Amino acid sequence: MAVRIRLRRIGKKKQPQYRLVVAEAAGPRDGRFIEVIGHYNPRVDPPAVSVNEERALWWLKQGAQPTVTAQSMLVKTGVWERFTGELAEAVQAPAVQAAAGGDLQPAEEAASGEQSERGASPDEPDEEEQQSPSEEAPEQVQEEANAEESEQGR
């Protein structure tokens, strides 16, 4: 069961208001939901946003994925920052313990190792960085075209 945090439209015609809800991903926008975790009223200036931080964090920790709009609301209220901060702390603790044991490489060494595995030296530009024929100087392109025409005429 994929769970999403998304907006559910309520209110009259031409007078939208939204609830921030936790619902199954396969359900319709205004269909059945699991829990209401906030409200959004875009008709007032500034738009009113309220989120139950405890429940939103709990659902995020359980794996609920917010939609783009719902995530922007969570960012505005500070819930997303709390979630990513707590997540980073939880991930960082095991990494520090493993680094003390010598199991992990520092990020710089890992990056240089990947580059040497590809066989490219740091002085050589990547394939994307090399100029394509369309980016060459116009005079050079014209000279190449003239050379091709003269070869075909022989």
Question: How many whole angstroms separate alpha carbon 26 and alpha carbon 104?
Answer: 40
* Closest alpha carbon to 74 in 59, 88, 89, 93: 59
Read off the tokens for 102.
Answer: 């010598």
Domain boundaries, the chain: 3-97
Predicted confidence band of residue 99 (pLDDT cuts 50, 70, 90): low
Closest CA to 125 of 135, 133, 117, 115: 115
Q: Give CATH superfamily name and number for 3-97.
A: Ribosomal protein S16 (3.30.1320.10)
What's the count of helices (H) and strands (E) in the chain, helices before strands? 5, 5
**Structure pTM?**
0.56
4 pLDDT more than 70: yes
| Distance from C-alpha of 144 to C-alpha of 127, rounded to nearest angstrom | 22
